[in-house]
């Protein structure tokens, strides 16, 4: 089994798990959360990421200059 990340036409990334035969087993959406230092505290973004992880989604935190 191998994991593949696919970029769709709309620009969103999807995580796809592939079985040996080539059939797609499941498709997961990757949530990208952009973290800001000045707008909200860091714990807000961490709790938001935990919420999405509990729903069995993949989460990516993006931060520039932190």
Residue 60: other Cβ atoms inside 10 A: 11
pLDDT grade for 48, boundaries at 50, 70 and 90: confident
Q: In what order do the strands lie in the sheet with 13-18?
A: 2-7, 13-18, 24-34, 58-62
Q: What is the pTM of this model?
A: 0.53
Tell me how far apart the alpha carbons of residues 28 and 16 are, in angstroms, rounded to a whole number: 6
Q: What is the pLDDT of residues 1-38, one digit of tens each?
A: 445 555 555 556 666 555 555 555 556 678 888 888 78
1 touches 18 (CB < 8 A): yes
Rounded to 5 degrees, what are φ and ψ at 40?
-135, 155
């Amino acid at each position: 089994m191998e994991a593949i990340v696919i970029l769709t036409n709309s620009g969103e990334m999807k995580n796809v798990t592939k079985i040996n035969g080539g059939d797609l087993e499941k498709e997961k959406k990757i949530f990208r959360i952009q973290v800001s230092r000045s707008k909200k505290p860091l714990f807000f973004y961490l709790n938001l990421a935990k919420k999405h992880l509990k729903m069995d989604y993949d989460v990516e935190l993006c931060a520039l200059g932190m």
